[in-house]
């Protein structure tokens, strides 16, 4: 029995509406909004922007373009062979590529080294299974603003940048994310525990390589004035995980390295080794101490790694009075006042010492010591003789420290060394003792004349 026209029209409209609702509700491949990138430690780019097209030579001696992987999800990572964190991250990218197999996901690497030889050696050493572009002139890196490596971009099948990751991470833990991206019918799994905390997730501490910062006390130094450049290297783990080498610094002409010192410490559970490079610059000008190379080897195995850290730019100039600022003058004034106060205090202390009356010893005591010394000398008892001589020297108003030290050495030799004292030296000591006692014994006639003069006045 034929359906009425009104009912047939109604059924067609209802069917079309249902199909439209289903088309809108069903997920599609490449829809980035379905997955919360932040929970996986990636920074979403909202709205997505077209990825800059490029074409470069590859390590495999062929030429490849980004558009060759259109219709796939692409992880585009920028790295360098001298970047330590990059070396730790690359194996996890290779593992991710292996895990995904023939799924529509492609990892692409862009090496920003100026020389292709170390890049080819790295690919063979680490068995990297994804294409590596050679960006020797940094043209592509400049387009993607990859000024600091490693940095990675997630590109959807429509050729749009949808997320970015800065710093090293373990990419193999992001496999559930890509499973959800490539399968439109699969619900996205919860992120791994390491990636559930926020959008700033780095490589796990056990894999985190040393990082470094460079600092100097003052960016303005004077010619021929030594200064320190501190390179602070920090990593998680223990001191025996890495073998560190002193930092390398390409010194411009006129800059000289005087020495290197190192100290170790612990900050927030991380190991810190600070290298202080003592430098000196012999003329005025602007000097760029960049880059600073941090070199280390993981003791668990592997080749030596190098990380380049930006160095400072120093202005070297003599101090000129006309260029001093008000606060400079204030500092100089304070320094002069402090020096003046120190000089006054020193002079006052010296005057007090000079005005202090000498410690006097009764004349009878001096004469007794002299008599004992003479008797000891006659009996051949050199130790007793020197002991009396030392006592007399120490009782002088002005003690001769050098002579006292000499007598102490002779006394020790006579007592314990078994050595004999030359007669000439003993005679010299005896004459010295006689003069000391004579100088400190008042003259009776002079004393009487002095008392008479005082009485008349």
210-316: CATH topology is: Immunoglobulin-like (2.60.40)
Radius of gyration, alpha carbons of the chain: 43
- The domain ranges of the chain are 32-206, 210-316, 322-355, 363-443
Please say if the pLDDT value at position 357 is more than 60. no
Which pair of tokens denotes residue 179?
């499973």
pLDDT-derived band at 209, boundaries 50, 70, 90: low
| CATH 3.40.50.300 corresponds to the domain 32-206 | no
Q: What is the pLDDT of residues 384-408, one digit of tens each?
A: 888 888 888 877 767 788 888 888 8
Q: What is the pLDDT of residues 220-273, one digit of tens each?
A: 788 998 999 999 888 766 666 677 888 888 889 999 998 888 888 887 777 788
Task: Indicate the pTM of the whole model.
Answer: 0.47
For a pLDDT cut of 70, what percent of the chain falls above it?
Answer: 73
């Amino acid at each position: 029995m034929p359906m009425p026209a009104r009912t047939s029209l109604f059924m067609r409209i209802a069917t079309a509406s249902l199909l439209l609702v289903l088309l809108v509700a069903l997920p599609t491949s490449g829809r980035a909004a379905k997955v919360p990138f932040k929970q996986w430690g990636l920074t979403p780019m909202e709205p997505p922007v077209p990825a800059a097209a490029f074409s470069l030579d590859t390590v495999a001696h062929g030429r490849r373009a980004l558009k060759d992987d259109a219709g796939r999800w692409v992880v585009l990572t920028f790295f360098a062979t001298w970047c330590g964190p990059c070396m730790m991250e690359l194996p996890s990218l290779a593992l991710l590529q292996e895990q995904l197999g023939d799924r529509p996901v492609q990892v692409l690497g862009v090496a920003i080294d100026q020389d292709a030889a170390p890049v080819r050696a790295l690919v063979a050493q680490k068995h990297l299974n994804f294409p590596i572009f050679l960006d020797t002139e940094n043209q592509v890196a400049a387009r993607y603003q990859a000024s600091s490596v490693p940095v990675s971009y997630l590109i959807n099948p429509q050729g749009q940048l949808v997320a970015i990751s800065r710093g090293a991470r373990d990419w193999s833990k992001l496999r559930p994310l890509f499973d959800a991206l490539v399968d439109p019918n699969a619900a996205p799994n919860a992120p791994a525990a390491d990636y559930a905390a926020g959008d700033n997730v780095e490589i796990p501490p056990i894999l985190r390589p040393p990082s470094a910062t460079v600092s100097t006390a003052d960016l303005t130094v004077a010619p021929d004035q030594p200064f320190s450049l501190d390179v602070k290297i920090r990593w998680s783990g223990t001191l025996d995980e890495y073998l560190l080498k002193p930092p390398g610094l390409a010194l411009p002409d006129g800059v000289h390295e005087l020495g290197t010192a190192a100290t170790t410490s612990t900050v927030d559970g991380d190991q810190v080794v600070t290298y202080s490079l003592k430098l000196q610059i012999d003329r005025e000008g602007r000097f760029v101490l960049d880059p600073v190379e941090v070199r280390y080897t993981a003791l668990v195995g592997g080749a030596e790694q190098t990380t380049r850290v930006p160095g400072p730019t120093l202005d070297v100039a003599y101090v000129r009075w006309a260029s001093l600022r008000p606060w400079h003058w204030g500092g100089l004034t304070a320094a002069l006042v402090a020096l003046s106060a120190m000089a006054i205090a020193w002079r006052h202390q010296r005057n007090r010492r000079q005005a202090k009356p000498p410690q006097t010893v009764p004349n009878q005591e001096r004469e007794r010591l002299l008599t004992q010394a003479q008797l000891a000398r006659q009996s051949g008892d050199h130790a007793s003789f020197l002991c009396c001589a030392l006592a007399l020297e120490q009782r002088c108003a002005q003690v001769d420290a050098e002579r006292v030290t000499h007598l102490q050495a002779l006394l020790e030799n006579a007592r314990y060394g078994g050595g004999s004292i030359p007669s000439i030296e003993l005679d010299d000591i005896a004459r010295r003792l006689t003069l000391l006692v004579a100088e400190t014994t008042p003259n009776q006639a002079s004393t009487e004349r002095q008392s008479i003069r005082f009485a008349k006045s």
